[in-house]
Amino acid sequence: MNQIFNQLIQYALDQGLIEQFDIEYVANQLIDLFDQDQFTYEIPKTSSDLPTILDRLLDVAIKQGKIENTITERDLFDTRIMGILTPRPSEVIRQFETLYEKDPEKATDWYYDFSQATNYIRMERIHKNIDFTVESKYAPMHITINLSKPEKDPKEIAKAKQTVSSNYPKCLLCKENVGFAGNQKHPARQNHRIIPLKLARGNYALQYSPYVYYNEHCILLNQEHEPMKIDRNTFENLFDFVRQFPHYMIGSNTDIPIVGGSILSHDHYQGGKAHFPIEEAKSFAEIQIDGCCGQLLIWPLSTIRLHDPDPEKLINAGMHILNAWKAYEDQDLGIIPCTNGNRHNAITPIVRFKNGEYEIDLVLRNNRTSEQYPDGIFHPHPQHHHIKKENIGLIEVMGLAILPGRLKKELETIERVLKHEIPLDQAKEIENHKRWVEEMMAKHWTDHIGEQLKQEVGAKFVRVLEDAGVFKMDKFGQAGMMRFIDFVETYPKE
Ligand SMILES: [Zn+2]
């Protein structure tokens, strides 16, 4: 044990998580956790990477009967170990603020590295994801098959069901997660630290997403557990964040179901240092709203882009568009803003600082359902659900598909069917893709079947995004979007 402890301590020293003065203090907590009675510090003869060190410690914990050998219990326990090595929140915040004063980018660089060093971001899992780019008529789209979330076995799911929820922390985004030990239903967060940030309208905190869907994928969470709400405060906060962190973009999901993210109960935004396909989109019209210049984008989701050096002007114009959209109706295109008191129209806003000025994308959304489309009219239609049936949220809106891990195996089987290695009707595990595979089999296939199949996945993703667009990118839809811009001009300002 002495050797593994020393390897772990050496790792923490190398990563700057602890200092020489902390060695005995940390070691004593480790020997307590593992029921040992002594420790001798020595520089380990061999070094090892963190996942290997933790795996060895977890094997000991299982042998000692402390945990069962399930992913949930392993994750709970190795986070507890990492919690021993993670500096206190106040120290982390002080370090971030000191760096921020020199250079905001240095502060986020350090905090991103720190979030990996503590194993809060499990990079070795993120690296399992399959990423590729596909051509499309809009822009090259990015696809990620998400293999980083380990699948739970039925035994674990049953155990989670028996666990009584305490309603603390209220959700995964609450600030009370910092240092939380977790349970069968809620991940451990002893190694989690957040950075408080004052935005124009309210107290927020910065953290990274443990799933890292794109580079430096961060989350800005309200320090209070309050529902999502897109209003003037949101716009002011988004611009204020980009003013404080000009190297990061930021956006928000809508504040209504179906066309937003998965967490509506806790006000939050998502940002990062990433370039998204939507930034490559071309435009079909130049517009001017309230003194701000902009474009209507050729993009599967209906997007108005405005830019100006003055954020105040963009906030006012954005609010003007949001208010007008909430009232806008176009029966011919199926756009109905409200039924039985339920609002259907909403906006996904994205803000960035680019070429010396601010830029905002306002993506028009509508969450109405019908008898034909009970999941949503402007939502992936049933014939595409075999690839994606979840909500089209902020990340997809920007042209990055996050597809379920099951697709990896399914695509391998489809590839074998296309290569005539197995007949389609014997490939039971791809039953849900049958129609799609039949359509593809009728196409011309080159020798690069794997590559061509990726392009087909990308084409499906584009179709899914097109379903979510309120104004379709044909001449009727584009004319409809122009009519909406005319409507904004006549709509009263706040
Ligand atoms: Zn919450």
Q: In this predicted model, what pLDDT tens digit does every residue of 20-76 receive, in sequence order?
A: 999 999 999 999 999 999 999 999 998 899 999 999 999 999 999 999 999 999 999
- What are phi and psi for residue 203, nearest 5 degrees? -95, 120
What pLDDT shows up at residue 451? 94
Which residues have beta carbons under 5 A from ligand 1 (an ion)? 170-171, 173-174, 225, 266
Cα(265) to centroid(ligand 1), Å: 7
Question: Rounded to the nearest whole angstrom, what is the distance from the C-alpha of residue 77 to the centroid of ligand 1?
Answer: 24
Which ranges in 45-122 belong to alpha helices (H)?
Answer: 50-63, 71-85, 89-102, 104-117
Q: What is the pLDDT of residues 198-227, one digit of tens each?
A: 999 999 999 999 999 999 999 999 999 999
Residue 150 has pLDDT above 80, yes or no: no
Distance CA 357, CA 393 (A): 26
Distance 292 CA to ligand 1 centre (A): 36
What was the pLDDT predicted at 166?
83
Hey, what are 215's tokens? Answer: 């580079």
- Percent of the chain residues topping a pLDDT of 70: 100
Which range among 14-18, 224-228, 327-331, 442-446 shows the weakest confidence by mean pLDDT? 442-446
Ligand 1 center to 94 CA (angstroms)? 24
Q: How far is the CA of 166 from the centre of ligand 1 (A)?
A: 13
Q: Provide the mean pLDDT of the chain.
A: 96
Crossing angle of the two packed helices 311-327 and 475-490, in degrees rounded to 10 = 110
Statement: the pTM of the whole predicted model exceeds 0.85: yes
pLDDT given for residue 137 in this prediction: 97
Closest to 260 in 3D by CA, of 229, 295, 297 = 229
How far apart (Å, rounded) are the C-alpha atoms in residues 101 and 429?
55
**How much is the pLDDT for 274?**
96
Tens digits of per-residue pLDDT, 243-289? 999 999 999 999 999 998 888 999 999 999 999 999 999 999 999 99
How many angstroms does the Cα of residue 174 sit away from the middle of ligand 1? 4
Give pLDDT tens digits for 180-189.
999 999 999 9
